[in-house]
């Protein structure tokens, strides 16, 4: 009986070690500037310990800020991707791009799947991600991870928001509001290109889809075909924080909807 119990314990420990790594990780890429980073945020699928969901983003950082990662300031996100992550073996995970089909968030099989390879089981230090653009047969980017970022992937965050396209980060302190999100997962957009009411639903863990409601909605395609996520990019909890609503375009990672929370 002791041998059986030991075997069960070892098997359970092995399964736990092989689970999808979760957290917020920092990496480098040949496609980014010297002061910028790639950030990969991974959360587990509640229904499958060996699968999860991930966000991959390029962070444009303010240069020449010395100090730990915690005080680095990201002024913009030039591109962002959404994935499902599924275990292949103890150190490899398939990274599958997601898209929106009839309001649901599903794997887009038209892409070649990327692969996340751990250098050491259970650690993201030295892990390498190869990803593919749509239609590519050779890797479009290789990201090597060397630490963590302080960003956190949030649940639905109701409140007032300001959608902007100012990549300098100059709108961070503006008090304007052009989007209101309700606690009941409703949304009202009053932007130049997007006007009208929407309802939202969580279609995958931490990923939301918007559906226009009523008449008079313009620019619906800029919202309803996107994958919506909430990220606290520059995370200074508990002292101060501003969450961002990000609308990921699965067909063009650079066409990102960027919204600052307004307090």
3-state secondary structure the chain: CHHHHHHHHHHHHHHHHCCCCCEEEEEECCCCCCCCEEEEEEEEECCEEEEEEEEEEEEEECCCCCCCHHHCCEEEEEEEEEEEEEECCCCEEEEEEEEEECCEEEECCCCCCEEEECCECCECCCCEEEECCCCCCCCCEEEEEEEECCCEEECCCCEEEEEECCCCCCCCCCCCCCEEECCCCEEEEECCCCEEEEEEEEEECCEEEEEEEEEEEECCHHHHCCEEEEEECCCECCCECCCEEEEECCCCCCCCEEEEEEC
Claim to verify: residue 29 and residue 127 sit in the same structural domain = yes
Claim to verify: residue 26 and residue 146 sit in the same structural domain = yes
pLDDT digits (tens, 9 = 90+) for 155-176: 999 999 999 999 999 999 899 9
**What's the number of domains the chain is made of?**
2
Domain that holds residue 128: 22-150
Asked whether residue 102 is domain-assigned, the answer is yes
Q: What is the pLDDT of residue 18?
A: 55
Asked whether residue 7 is domain-assigned, the answer is no
Asked whether residue 189 is domain-assigned, the answer is yes
pLDDT digits (tens, 9 = 90+) for 124-150: 999 999 999 989 999 999 999 999 999
pLDDT digits (tens, 9 = 90+) for 205-235: 999 999 999 888 999 999 999 999 999 999 9
Claim to verify: residue 81 and residue 49 sit in the same structural domain = yes
Claim to verify: residue 110 and residue 167 sit in the same structural domain = no
Reported pTM = 0.91
Claim to verify: residue 36 and residue 132 sit in the same structural domain = yes
Give the residue, 185 or 69, on which the prediction is more confident: 185
Question: Binning pLDDT at 50, 70 and 90, where does residue 238 land?
Answer: confident
pLDDT digits (tens, 9 = 90+) for 16-46: 445 889 999 999 999 999 999 999 999 999 9
Q: What is the pLDDT of residue 236?
A: 87
Q: What is the pLDDT of residue 5?
A: 41
């Amino acid at each position: 009986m002791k041998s059986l119990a030991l075997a069960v314990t070892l098997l359970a420990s092995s399964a736990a070690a092989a689970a999808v790594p979760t957290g917020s990780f920092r990496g480098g890429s040949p496609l980014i500037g010297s002061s910028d980073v790639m950030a990969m945020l991974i959360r587990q699928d509640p229904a499958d310990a060996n699968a999860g969901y991930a966000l991959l983003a390029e962070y444009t950082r303010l240069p020449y800020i010395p100090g730990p990662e915690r005080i680095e300031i990201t002024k913009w996100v030039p591109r962002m991707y959404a994935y499902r992550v599924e275990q292949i073996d103890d150190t490899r995970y398939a990274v599958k791009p997601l898209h929106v089909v009839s309001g649901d968030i599903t794997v887009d099989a038209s892409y070649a799947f990327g692969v996340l390879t751990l250098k050491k089981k259970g650690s993201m230090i030295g892990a390498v991600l190869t990803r593919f653009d749509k239609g590519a047969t050779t890797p479009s980017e290789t990201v090597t991870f060397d630490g963590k970022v302080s960003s956190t992937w949030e649940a639905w965050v109701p409140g007032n928001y300001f959608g902007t396209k100012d990549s300098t980060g100059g709108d961070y302190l503006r008090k304007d509001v052009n989007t209101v999100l309700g606690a009941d997962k409703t949304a009202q957009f009053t932007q130049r290109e997007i006007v009208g009411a929407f309802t939202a639903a969580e279609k995958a863990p931490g990923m939301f889809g918007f559906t226009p409601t009523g008449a008079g909605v313009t620019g619906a395609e800029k919202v309803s075909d996107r994958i919506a996520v909430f990220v606290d990019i520059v995370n200074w909890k508990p002292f101060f924080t501003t969450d961002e609503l990000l609308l990921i375009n699965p067909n063009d990672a650079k066409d990102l909807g960027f919204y600052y929370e307004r307090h």
